Structure 1
Amino acid sequence: MPMSKTLLQQAAGFFRSFQPCQLCHADTQHQHHVCLDCWQNLPWQRQSVQRQEMQILAACDYAYPLDRIIHQFKYEQQLHYTPLLSGILQTLKYPKVQAIVPMPISTERLCERGYNQSLLLAKALSKHLQLPIWQPVERLKQHSQKGLSRFERIEDIQQQFQLAPPSNLRYRKVLIVDDVVTTGSSIHALKNCLEQLGCQEVHAVCLAAAQI
């Protein structure tokens, strides 16, 4: 890394140490733009949860204050939380993979929000792990599953994903990145598509796992 860039990063970190915590605003920033107390009091989990017969690595529980932060990040364009949420994912230990696959969203959702929150997280993690981003699957129109049975929800989710236009790019071991996991249906559907492309190991990580 060029010396000038290193000095700029050090200077930025020094000035941030005098700025207030993004969460409590009472103490100064310790890491990832929050103070030490707020960082330690996040609803940490750092273990796998089983969804759809798949082990998904969850950094935290979907509980206060992380649930509020993720909601604002996802639906209210509060992108200043990106360093915090990315930092949370960087604390985990990952299996050896060759590429990172962000959970895709539909074009409709992308137009509504202006960004794919999972892609933002995946980009930061790819830089941290020095791995490429791979997006071989597209998501069709997403719609409410309210009123559907469990079987209908699973079947509906499966139909929302499709393989992107053919490419010679292939990876055997990949890591899916998502923000929140509830039933795990979306990750399971994405995993099925990736296996159709020849992936032999499909791992998954999420910021938070909701109770079911």
Structure 2
Amino acid sequence: MGQKDTVKTIRLWGKSLVDLIFPDLCTVCRNRLVTGEHIICLECRMGLPRTNLHRLQPNAIHERLFSIGHPIERATSLFHYFRENNYARLIHDTKYRGRPIVGRTLALEHATELLQTGFFDGIDAIVPVPLHFFKRFRRGYNQAEEIARGLSSATSLPVINALSASYHRTQTRMSAHQRLLNARNAYHVADPSAIDGLHILLVDDVITTGATLLSCIEAVKKSCPSTRISLYSLAITQLA
């Protein structure tokens, strides 16, 4: 056995020992992952409540953001979000539990599929919805940026942090009207020249009422009227 083979064998033994003590678990069902599975087990992956919204343009996302008065070119989300469903853990782990790799991996895999559909054709850059400095510092990362980086890994499109956020309260338990008021004027374009005239893909983790994206779109159109906008999120809720 050569030196390279010996090192490889030692690494495999080491990984097997780590997996035995700290096994990788499925983010959704929490069962142990087997060799070849990553983030989600095969059974949960097959049951993911996909939206397939990329097949229909315009779609439910356009309808939810219709009041903005600005055209949205393309929009899609990977899966439907239900608060009490175990698949909500994909968002919770990405956003609150220090596992941005979940969102980044899901976005990379989804983008790889979407490349075959032409969804990214003509898009120049990916722009994540920003977090206020203090929120980002407390969390350690911006989940929308991690999702954007997953998309970038599959598409080679640049990620541009063109937007900045002023401090506003978390919207988790707010009504639709409260979300709209809370997000109003909360975002602005830090450097208009970075995205002026481009076709950008605006990225967030979950579309609920659409208040956050509405505010971001308004900020972009105010500073860069010629910028075209498409939308991507990992998940979208069902409105009552």
2:42 paired residue among 32, 36, 40: 36
1:57 maps to: 76
Q: Check whether the contact 1:126–1:132 (CA below 8 A) recurs between aligned residues.
A: yes
Q: Is 2:91 aligned against 1:70?
A: yes
- Higher helix proportion: 2
Q: CA–CA distance in 2 between the matches of 1:88 and 1:34? A: 12
1:4 maps to: none
Q: CA–CA distance in 2 between the matches of 1:211 and 1:99? A: 28
Task: Classify 1:59/1:169 alpha carbon distance in 2 versus 1 (closer, same or farther; 3 Å).
Answer: closer
Task: Classify 1:84/1:39 alpha carbon distance in 2 versus 1 (closer, same or farther; 3 Å).
Answer: farther
Q: CA–CA distance in 2 between the matches of 1:44 and 1:197? A: 33
1:128 maps to: 154
TM-score scaled by structure 2? 0.70
- 1:10-25 matched pairs, under 5 angstroms: 22-23=26-27, 24-25=30-31
Q: CA–CA distance in 2 between the matches of 1:110 and 1:179? A: 15
**What's the CA shift for 1:124?**
1.6
Uncovered stretches (5+) of structure 2, i.e. residues with no partner: 1-7, 54-58, 67-71
**What's the CA shift for 1:147?**
6.4
Q: Is 2:120 aligned against 1:109?
A: no
Q: Provide the secondary structure at the position in 1 that maps to 2:48.
A: coil
**What's the CA shift for 1:126?**
1.0
Q: Provide the secondary structure at the position in 2 that maps to 1:191.
A: helix
2:229 paired residue among 198, 202, 207: 202
**What's the CA shift for 1:183?**
0.6
**What's the CA shift for 1:95?**
3.8
**What's the CA shift for 1:203?**
0.5
Task: Classify 1:171/1:128 alpha carbon distance in 2 versus 1 (closer, same or farther; 3 Å).
Answer: farther
Count of matched residue pairs:
199
- 1:82-97 matched pairs, under 5 angstroms: 82=103, 84-90=105-111, 91-92=113-114, 93=117, 94-96=119-121, 97=123
**What's the CA shift for 1:208?**
0.6
| RMSD across aligned positions (CA) | 3.0
With 138-147 and 112-121 compared, the bigger mean Cα shift is at 138-147
TM-score scaled by structure 1? 0.78
Q: CA–CA distance in 2 between the matches of 1:147 and 1:125? A: 29
**What's the CA shift for 1:172?**
2.0
Q: Check whether the contact 1:60–1:208 (CA below 8 A) recurs between aligned residues.
A: yes
Uncovered stretches (5+) of structure 1, i.e. residues with no partner: 1-7
Task: Classify 1:156/1:126 alpha carbon distance in 2 versus 1 (closer, same or farther; 3 Å).
Answer: same
- Higher strand proportion: 1
Q: Check whether the contact 2:24–2:33 (CA below 8 A) recurs between aligned residues.
A: yes
Task: Classify 1:201/1:189 alpha carbon distance in 2 versus 1 (closer, same or farther; 3 Å).
Answer: same
> Could you say which structure has the larger radius of gyration?
2
Per-residue Cα deviation, 1:131-187 (whole angstroms, up to 9, x for no partner): 11112211100214566772x542431211122145455342110111111011111
Q: Check whether the contact 1:180–1:206 (CA below 8 A) recurs between aligned residues.
A: yes
Task: Classify 1:126/1:171 alpha carbon distance in 2 versus 1 (closer, same or farther; 3 Å).
Answer: farther
Q: CA–CA distance in 2 between the matches of 1:88 and 1:66? A: 16
Q: CA–CA distance in 2 between the matches of 1:98 and 1:34? A: 31
Q: CA–CA distance in 2 between the matches of 1:207 and 1:103? A: 13
- Opposite residue 52 of structure 1, the aligned amino acid is L
